[in-house]
Amino acid sequence: MYQPQPFLTRLTFKASDRPEAEEARERLIARYGDVGEDSAQVIVALGGDGFMLETLHAAIASQTPIYGMNRGSVGFLMNEYSEDGLLERINAAERATIHPLAMTAIDSQRRNHRALAINEVSLLRQTRQTAKLRISIDGKVRMSELVCDGALIATPAGSTAYNLSAHGPIIPIGGQVLALTPISAFRPRRWRGALLPRSARITFEILEGDKRPVSAVADNFEVRDVLEVHISEDRDTSLAMLFDAGRSLDERVLTEQFSA
């Protein structure tokens, strides 16, 4: 039997440190109230895409849906800012569910560092020397040596961010794949990366790490002087973003593929 969804009314507002975001938060709280994060049905994030990522990371434990409004610069992950009809917009919104990447990075002291990445996990050279990486997928070596500035694994949600700047493919949100994209590959020079099933377990081994040190970055969490990095999708963690009707994340990603 169909059960109607409850009307979402309990909101909490989070703002970046930009003055326009903080001022918007004060006005919205005066108009709609703020029940606090523990009681909220929806988190309203006010800022740009970077702040949306911060808010998503902070909501991993509660998995509370997030509705963003742009009070930043780019705002690809945000809705247009308006103070009118907010509850109606939220209740009519389309939901995008995403799963982060789980990274385990082993550093030169053999310490394990674990972090989640909503956009991508990047391996980046630390010095003027190019990095040398060996890439294995599900335990099988697929590239014995990649000489490059780095490489990244991107989720569909992150495929329009750093991955796109590195000339990686844009992936629909419902796509069942991850993007493996080299950053300024020197050898093999013409290799443009690969699309991997989302079930793939990816391992990067750093070759000549003492001479060519590499850092691993999961969104904004960095580990320096890594020896190995293991990456896979964390299917046990689900994060929800809410987008205005007709402006879903799927629609935005599709539109991005036809932009100049």
User: Active-site positions?
Assistant: 49
Partners of 133 in beta bridges:
146, 206
Contact 132/211 with Cβ under 8 angstroms? no
- Residue 84 annotated as part of some ligand binding site: no
CA distance linking residue 64 with residue 21, whole number of Å = 21
Q: Edge-to-edge strand order for the sheet containing 131-137?
A: 112-117, 101-107, 226-233, 202-207, 131-137, 140-148
- Count of positions (residues) in the chain: 260
- Residue 220 annotated as part of some ligand binding site: no
- Residue 155 annotated as part of some ligand binding site: no
Question: Residue 38 phi/psi, 5° resolution?
Answer: -70, -30
- Residue 244 annotated as part of some ligand binding site: no
- Residue 162 annotated as part of some ligand binding site: yes
- Residue 49 annotated as part of some ligand binding site: yes
CA distances from 48 to 67, 68, 79, 126, 246 (A): 12, 8, 10, 28, 20
- Residue 161 annotated as part of some ligand binding site: yes
- Residue 119 annotated as part of some ligand binding site: yes
- Residue 151 annotated as part of some ligand binding site: no
Annotated binding site: 49-50, 119-120, 149, 157, 160-165
Annotated binding site for NAD(+): 49-50, 119-120, 149, 157, 160-165
